[in-house]
Amino acid sequence: MAEIIDLNLISDARHQFRKLLDARGLSYFLKKDGHRLFQIEQSKVDMVVRNAARARPTHLPRPPRPALEHCRREIRRELIRRVVEAMLQTGL
């Protein structure tokens, strides 16, 4: 079965992610009280995808669930990449 990918949704979610990242910083997406050194707060990733889906024009249908899941994975990957990049810059 083919995977459903909504490129507009991913683009909008990345835009929302970058805006939040610029405004709040990387630590906004990480849990503060987790037992791990860096743990992604899934609710923040969900919020980015949900806001991107809501920002779509009303004449377009809601994105299908597989497209939303793919978008969440893409945002998580970008977030993980940025966390690793920050760790390398600080020497951890």
Record the pTM: 0.85
| 52 half-sphere exposure, CB direction, 13 A CA radius | 28
Q: What is the pLDDT of residue 71?
A: 95
Amino acid code (one letter) for 30: L
Q: What is the mean pLDDT of the chain?
A: 89
Pick out the chain residues at pLDDT < 70.
1-2, 34, 36, 92
- DSSP for 45-89 reads HHHHHHHHHHTS-TTSPPPPHHHHHHHHHHHHHHHHHHHHHHHHH
Per-residue pLDDT, 82: 94
pLDDT score at 39: 87
- The pLDDT assigned to 92 comes to 62
30, β-bridge pairs = 40
Alpha carbon 90 to its chain's center: 23
